[in-house]
Amino acid sequence: MTIDWRHYQSAGFYDELLDTPGQPRRAAQVLCDYLASLSDDELSERKTAAELAIQVMGITFTVYSEGGSIDRAWPFDIIPRIIPKREWDRTEAGLKQRVHALNRFIDDIYHEQRIIKDKVFPAEVLAQSVNFRPQCVGIEAPRGIWAHICGSDLVRDKDGTIYVLEDNLRIPSGVSYMLENRVVTKRVFPELFENQRILPVDDYPSQLYDMLASLSPRPGHDPQVVVLTPGIYNSAYFEHSYLAQQMGVELVEGSDLEVGDDDCVYMRTIEGRERVDVIYRRVDDLFLDPEAFRPDSALGVPGLLRAWRKGKVALANAPGAGVADDKVVYAFVPAMIKYYLGEDPIIPNVPSYLCMRDKDREYVLQNLDKLVVKPANESGGYGMLVGPHAKAEERRRFATLIQEQPRNYMAQPTLTLSTAPTLCVQTVEPRHLELLRFHTAARHASQVSYHVEPRHLDLRPFILSGADTYVTTGGLTRVALKRGSLVVNSSQGGGSKDTWIVDTEE
């Protein structure tokens, strides 16, 4: 059974590949024609090849549960998501604009706080920020950049409008999966890369290294760059080790580093101490330096903040950058763009209601069955209320939380997120069910049949800010593998697709 796009229904949502049933969008025409030419057995073989590649390459993510942590193979859908280059050019410009304003905001917050004095940003929002670090006040970040690596989540509504859903400025993750998705897709569909212009993504590690190296406090020296990881039990450890390997730099833990009497940071090696210039840190602020933050932390480096304050080492992202990584602060980003840059936002925010405002809170409490409610500082889709899918008891619980901690909650309309065709299991023999449940390959593809259904998705591009600003070509597309679900996080049953930026201009 081959794919017949005339029977594909996106249920009234904006679909990334098809304009109307049977009519692929221009940028997706080649892909849709190719997929329609494959038999069911051929699709099964491609799906199996992808799962085997993921196993062999060791692409995993960690799920935490009450019983401990479990490493799972990366859930991957072989049908790519496609974005025309002309549309992406505008999105890229909007992301650069947004990150520029956010870095201006962070730098201002740790210095003059002009945006508060001019009553553009409320003082009470900062006063109750859990990510504001008083230890960072007055520190001069090179070029005024605090968030060197940013991952902004984008969604598309039913009318085709792209919105920024949130900004991740502390320790954004996922870029390694974007890179590995492309490697797997090239193995599965090599022929598709021969006859159309799909923009590459594999320059990210070199762009990341160049950005980090540009932060070195010792210009003219060959900089020593390291990736600081909390260790193998961290959910993003695969990414930490992957990026270190791709950049050709050392992956270190806190115990591998020390701050000397000269306030420089040194790495312990078998040949003695070696000075470190730049640390790409994947350790949360509060665990970064037991002298400055949590004294019980065994993950950080004593004296690291002191070394950074004195300009002896560069940290990316800078401690304190999370002050802008707050879903309440998010609501003020359009005003920041206007205030700092004198420009209108290129990419709009999703309309938001702040529960700290009496009028907004009253509206939210009266419409919990229609809204998505988010806590200010949770991530990974945790702590949310998706009103239309929630039970009455859960909505009552959130109403209490909102009334008790109004600053900690904001709400947004339930967007009709865009969809993309996704390969779904239709039938499977019982003896293969357990294999599929853990995303491993069913070795006898003929026993498994698939069909294509629409699934909701988002997109996380990554923006690097240093001497120059760089935006990934596309980003990490996350897809909700459960029918009707709007939660795309892999920790909650979501998967991923390769993202193609296709240049159709002749």
Does residue 250 sit within a domain? no
Residue 148, pLDDT score:
98
d(CA 2, CA 35): 8
Cβ atoms of residues 389 and 381 within 8 Å: no
d(CA 55, CA 71): 12
d(CA 198, CA 175): 18
Cβ atoms of residues 457 and 419 within 8 Å: yes
Q: Residue 233 class from Cβ within 10 Å (0-12 exposed, 13-18 middle, 19+ buried)?
A: exposed
Token digits for 45?
């073989």
Q: Residue 13 class from Cβ within 10 Å (0-12 exposed, 13-18 middle, 19+ buried)?
A: middle
Does residue 497 sit within a domain? no
3-state secondary structure 56-98: HHCCEEEEEECCEEEEEECCEEEEEEEEEHHHHHHHHHHHHHH
Does residue 10 sit within a domain? no
Cβ atoms of residues 336 and 105 within 8 Å: yes
d(CA 339, CA 120): 8
Q: What is the CATH number of the domain that holds 378?
A: 3.30.1490.270
Residue written as token pair 């859908």: 77
d(CA 442, CA 431): 9
Could you state, in chain order, the average pLDDT of each consecutive group of 10 residues for the chain (506 residues)? 82 90 93 92 90 84 58 85 97 98 98 98 94 96 96 94 95 94 94 93 97 94 96 91 97 97 96 96 97 95 97 97 94 98 98 96 95 82 82 94 94 92 72 49 53 93 96 95 80 85 84
Residue 489, pLDDT score:
74
Residue 373, pLDDT score:
94
Closest CA to 262 of 252, 271, 273, 272: 273
Neighbours of 482 (CB within 10 A): 15
Residue 448, pLDDT score:
62
Residue 442, pLDDT score:
43
Residue 447, pLDDT score:
57
DSSP state of 372: E
d(CA 496, CA 482): 12
Closest CA to 92 of 458, 506, 459: 459
Does residue 377 sit within a domain? yes
Residue written as token pair 């930026």: 501
Residue 444, pLDDT score:
45
Beta bridge partners of 483: none
pTM of the model: 0.91
Omega prior to 234 cis, within 30 of 0 = no
Residues 6+ apart with CB under 8 A from 467: 143, 211, 214
Residues 6+ apart with CB under 8 A from 164: 94, 98, 152, 153, 154, 330, 333, 347, 348, 349, 350
Dihedral, 119, 123, 129, 131 alpha carbons, nearest 10:
60
Distances (CA, A) of 332 to 21, 116, 142, 328: 39, 12, 25, 8
Does residue 141 sit within a domain? no
272-285 residues labelled b (16+ CB within 10 A) or e (exposed): eeebbbbbbbbbbb
25-46 residues labelled b (16+ CB within 10 A) or e (exposed): bebbbbbbeebeeeebeebbeb
Phi, psi dihedrals of residue 79, rounded to the nearest 5°: -85, 115
In the chain, how many domains are there?
A: 1
Closest CA to 4 of 41, 39, 42, 30: 39
Does residue 322 sit within a domain? no
DSSP state of 350: P
Tens of pLDDT, residue by residue over 353-403, are: 999 999 999 999 999 999 999 998 776 567 789 888 889 999 999 999 999
Does residue 371 sit within a domain? yes
- What residues make up the domain containing 355? 351-413
Does residue 378 sit within a domain? yes
Closest CA to 126 of 102, 108, 109, 103: 109
Residue 74, pLDDT score:
78
Closest CA to 206 of 477, 503, 472, 460: 472
d(CA 39, CA 292): 61
d(CA 369, CA 393): 11
Token digits for 209?
């290294």
